[in-house]
Structure 1
Amino acid sequence: MKLELKGFVGFYKNKLHLIEGILANIYYGFPSQKLRLIGVTGTDGKTSTVWMIYHIFKRAGKKVGYISTVGYFVGGKEGYGGHHVTTPKNIDLQRLMKEAVKNGLEYLVVESSSHGLDQHRLFGCRFVASVITNVTNEHLDYHLTYERYLAAKAKLLCMSELRIANKEDKSFDFLKKEFQDLKTFGLNEKNKADYSYSDYRQSFLFKEGYNNANAMAALAVCLELGIEKKVIIDTLRKFSFPPGRMEIVQTKPFKVIIDFAHTANGLFQFLGSIKKTKKGKLIHVFGCAGERDRDKRYEMGFTSGKYADVIVLTAEDPRSEKLGSINNEIKRGIRRSGFKGLLIEEDDRKKAIFKAIKLARVCDIVVITGKGPEKSMNIGGIEYPWDEKKVVLDAL
């Protein structure tokens, strides 16, 4: 009954969002029709892929901007989109697009969340190209099932002239049935994707396999839209990740890395790649958000327990949920993993980071995940200022 009620309320809420979208488009004069939009969606890798496409187009001399989790650039100065926002609300999105048109931009790369797609925030937009990086279990507190989550992501492809998908992702079987003209990318040459990493292995290499997949997604989009291969390769070879994505704050005497990894799959991919390079201990600081998908807490605890030598459990936007309850669910996964290391619980995220840094020795790696570049922490429903990198630098 609760699920039925939630779906009923959500249905009417989304109708209101659609009306908002129509009115916002009318008010700002349908600005998206004057831009060449490139859409990026997926569970993980959206922001990095947006960043890659943006910098490739910029290097190619195109007038390009972006709207993403880390902020936006629509000409003029870069800006911050707001607390925990990927795809802005209808009125804000159309305003930004209007500014992009006013500032003479031709292309705009738009990070598109499942919430944004489901709530019609992109109403009126037509994309020249869009790509789905991957679709794993996430946001099921909102979408309820994986199938509905995937369907929300797939809406972006319905709005696009050119459609690109990850041939090696579990979402592909569904997508290929729905879209006969899909272009594909992948890492394994055996899968015979249209754009395979095996053909570019000598051109660029990221230590993290998932970032090679993100790079292939960006490469596929850019080649399909006519960007020269040399420009793409040169950009990827010198690529710097956006803030809070694989951000190395210190390398010696021990390494400190900040990463936004806040999904079960994202954390698995990230910690797995770090584990391969470590010589000392892996010290992991993390938590899980309150009032969000509870199922992933166990999975993320299991992943941390599998890869880390020291775990510091702390707050990550607990909202109005009790932090102890969140951590208990995470600890179930940690115990199940067979973790034999040191487990510390510290509710205060700043103190947790300081403790982790203090424990580190030569050749250790301290990784702090979940917040990345976010500028606030939601505790008790109130947004408090937060700067993960500043806290790390203060601790060092």
Structure 2
Amino acid sequence: MLDSILYFLKKIIPSGVFGFFQPAYHIGMAFLSAVVYRFPSRHIKIVAVTGTKGKTSVTEIVNTILEEAGRKTALSNTIRFKIDSASEDNLYKMSMPGRFFMQRFLRKAVDAGCEYAVLEATSQGAALHRHRFISFDALIFTNLAPEHIEAHGSYENYMKAKLEIAEAAARSNKKRTVLVANADDEATALFLKKDFSEKRLYSLDDAKPYEIFKEGFAMTVRGTPIRSMLSGQFNIYNELAAITFAEAEGISIETCKKAIERFSGIRGRVEKVDAGQDFTVVVDYAHTPDSLQKLYDVFKGTKRICVLGNTGGGRDTWKRDEMARIAESECDEIILTNEDPYDDDPMKIVTDMAQAITKKKPHIVMARREAIAKALSLARSGDSVLITGKGTDPYIMGPDNTKIPWSDTKVVREELERLTR
């Protein structure tokens, strides 16, 4: 409710005036919410995961390992909110909802007897000071690449927001603060400058020898062979991040192995939809050039039929050309469609992308359901239909923050059924 009021005020108050008072408002609300719920983070271990990609997957893998080790957990990420065994979908279309929500969530976790709360920590949440007055025990850093550039004003500001999360975690009032960071990412050097009491690194070298298959991968960590049902090299990184944190908590590699080998993945992240068809259909959240390329790489060697669009509302317009060019390079068939236009003209978004494709002729199908149906109709045995951009997003966002209920996975299932009638 308060965030809705803030959105309204932002539209009617001059931007300079709004920008001057906004930080004080957010910090004040963060403090008030912590007071109302009696600073719950002081009474539970808080594990935050930040980075450009992999946050949701890492939170879920960490949660699975902790549960395998017999720890009682709470979980907050883009997909769901979980306290012990009770779980509900995240319908907010944001990883870190408002400050009162987060503090209330943590209070419920404490009251339920949870030992750990595993949280996604985002740059946009940090810019709105939603991480304030949360006492962190550990921070897991995945990677850093350009994203949310328009929202932050520059890549430097985006990086600064991520580092503010690290600074908050390092200066936490907890006795022990742990940083787990990706040694293969250049930005890790900046995170290592923060004053954590313990710092641990992970690298792809920790998984060698590894072998990636279409249906998962095998790796060897600390001399222990592990077989995962997840796809792609990026998920090796995600699992290494979770294992490294678990080891910092005294959890054995054998327990990590058991958890990972039973973990089948999460909705909207390389999610395969199987209705008995003889081709592969994948729904994935990939919405940046880097994540799109990595997804397409997983399905090299197959005919790739790709459904994609881009977000409006002034969000990362620079991505349109780049993602279109990646699709042109990697996809055999390209279907451009509506995604989340917000206040932008959806046709202009798609046209901008189409103009960047010069060597192939993309299909332009504005209705997302029809675009998915078109992709499925083009598929033949052994092909891969890759539907990206929304993952588990529960809405298509339109003008003035209007929301149209949506589920890529549900629509795929419905269209597959229609196709096989």
TM-score clears 0.5: yes
Aligned to 1:171: 187
Which residue number in structure 2 is paired with residue 273 of structure 1? 298
1:187–1:198: 8 Å Cα contact kept in structure 2? Answer: no
Quote how far apart the aligned CAs of 1:272 are: 1.6
Q: Deviations over 1:121-154 (max 9, x none)?
A: 1211112111110110000011122222112112
Aligned 8 A contact 2:207 2:220 in 1: no
Do the aligned residues in 2 keep the contact of 1:66 with 1:73 (CA within 8 Å)? yes
Q: Give the 5 Å matches for 1:204-219.
A: 204-205=227-228, 206-219=230-243
In 2, Cα distance between equivalents of 1:189 and 1:256: 31
Instruction: Label 1:48 to 1:105 Cα distance change in 2 as closer, same or farther (>3 A).
Output: same
Q: Distance in 2 between matches of 1:328 and 1:252?
A: 32
- On the 8 A contact 1:263/1:300 being kept in 2, the answer is yes
Query: 1:338-375 deviations in whole A, cap 9, x for unaligned?
Result: x43x5100110011101111111111110101111111
What runs of 5+ residues in structure 2 fail to find an aligned partner? Answer: 1-13, 170-176, 209-218, 417-421
- 1:8 shift after superposition: 7.2
| Separation (CA, whole Å) in 2 of partners of 1:354 and 1:25 | 47
Could you tell me which residue of structure 1 aligns to residue 407 of structure 2?
387
Equivalent position of 2:278 in the other structure: 253
Residues 7 and 119 of structure 1: CA distance in aligned 2, closer, same or farther (over 3 Å): farther
Aligned residue runs from structure 1 range 55-74, under 5 A: 55-74=64-83
Distance 2:288 2:207 in 1: 28
CA apart distance, 1:320: 1.3
2:125, 2:407 → 1: CA distance? 25
Q: TM-score, normalised by structure 1?
A: 0.91
Find the partner of 2:342 among 315, 319, 328: 319
Q: State how far apart, in whole Å, the 2-side matches of 1:297 and 1:179 are.
A: 38
1:288 counterpart = 2:310? yes
Task: Confirm or deny: 8 A CA contact 1:188 1:197 kept in the other structure.
Answer: no
Secondary structure of residue in 1 paired with 2:264: coil
Conservation of the 8 A alpha-carbon contact between 1:197 and 1:212 = no
The aligned amino acid for 2:25 is: L
Q: What is the one-letter code of the residue matched to 2:370? A: K
Cα distance in structure 2, aligned partners of 1:22 and 1:288: 36
Contact 1:131/1:221 (8 A) holds in 2: yes
Aligned to 1:306: 329
Partners of 1:7 and 1:39 in 2: CA distance: 32
Give the share of equivalent positions with the same residue, in percent.
30
For 2:225, which of 196, 199, 202 is the aligned residue?
A: 202
Task: Give the residue type in structure 2 aligned to 1:269.
Answer: K
The one-character-per-residue Cα deviations of 1:149-200 (angstroms, maximum 9, x if unpaired) are 1121122222331112111113123333445863211113699xxxx97646
* CA distance in 1: counterparts of 2:220 and 2:35, whole angstroms: 43
Question: Which residue in the other structure is 1:348 paired with?
Answer: 367
5 Å-filtered alignment, 1:2-17, equals 9-10=18-19, 12-17=21-26
Residue 75 of structure 1: how far off its partner (Å): 3.4
- The one-letter amino acid of 1:286's match is L
User: Could you say what secondary structure the match of 1:240 adopts?
Assistant: coil
C-alpha separation in 1, matches of 2:381 and 2:204: 34
Aligned to 2:87, the other structure's residue is in SS state coil
Structure 1 distance, partners of 2:62, 2:390, is: 23
Q: Spell out, residue by residue over 1:199-223, the C-alpha distance to the aligned partner (whole angstroms, 9 max, x if none).
A: 4683235540000011111111111
What secondary structure, in the 3-state scheme, does the structure 2 residue paired with 1:261 have?
coil
Residue 211 of structure 2 corresponds to none
Distance in 1, Cα, partners of 2:61 & 2:188: 23
Amino acid at match of 2:364: E
Q: For each residue in 1:318-352, what CA deviation from the matched residue of structure 2 results, as whole angstroms up to 9, or x when unmatched?
A: 111011221132224333xxx43x51001100111
Q: 1:53 to 1:380 in 2, by over 3 A?
A: same
Q: Is the 8 A contact 2:231 2:298 kept in 1?
A: yes
Distance 1:348 1:258 in 2: 17
Rate the CA distance shift 1:207–1:73 in 2: closer, same or farther, 3 A.
closer
Distance 1:213 1:6, change over 3 A: farther
Matches within 5 A, 1:80-95: 80-95=89-104
Deviation at 1:23, TM superposition (A): 0.4
Whole-angstrom distance in 1 between the partners of 2:141 and 2:335: 33
Q: How far, CA to CA, are the matches of 2:240 and 2:409 in structure 1?
A: 29
Contact kept, 8 Å, 2:207 with 2:240, in 1: the verdict is no
Q: Secondary structure at the match of 2:312?
A: coil
Q: If the length of structure 2 is used for normalisation, what is the TM-score? A: 0.85
Q: Report if the CA contact (8 A) 1:283-1:367 is conserved.
A: yes
Return the alpha-carbon distance in structure 1 between the equivalents of residues 220 and 17 of structure 2: 44
Aligned-residue CA RMSD (Å): 2.2
Distance (Å, rounded) in 2 between the aligned partners of 1:179 and 1:204: 35
Aligned counterpart, 2:391: 372
Q: How does 1:61-210 map to 2 (within 5 A)?
A: 61-75=70-84, 77-160=86-169, 161-178=177-194, 182-188=199-205, 199=222, 202-205=225-228, 206-210=230-234
Q: Which moved more, 1:116-125 or 1:64-73?
A: 116-125
Shift of the 11–366 alpha-carbon distance from structure 1 to 2, 3 Å rule, reads farther
Structure 1 residues 71-103: Cα deviation after superposition (integer angstroms, max 9, x where no partner) = 100235212333311011101111111111111
CA distance in structure 2 between the partners assigned to 1:7 and 1:210 by the alignment: 41
Give the direction of change, closer, same or farther, for the CA distance of 1:190–1:215 in structure 2 (3 Å limit).
Answer: closer
Distance 1:224 1:11 in 2: 41
Provide the rounded CA distance (Å) in 1 between the counterparts of 2:236 and 2:332.
27
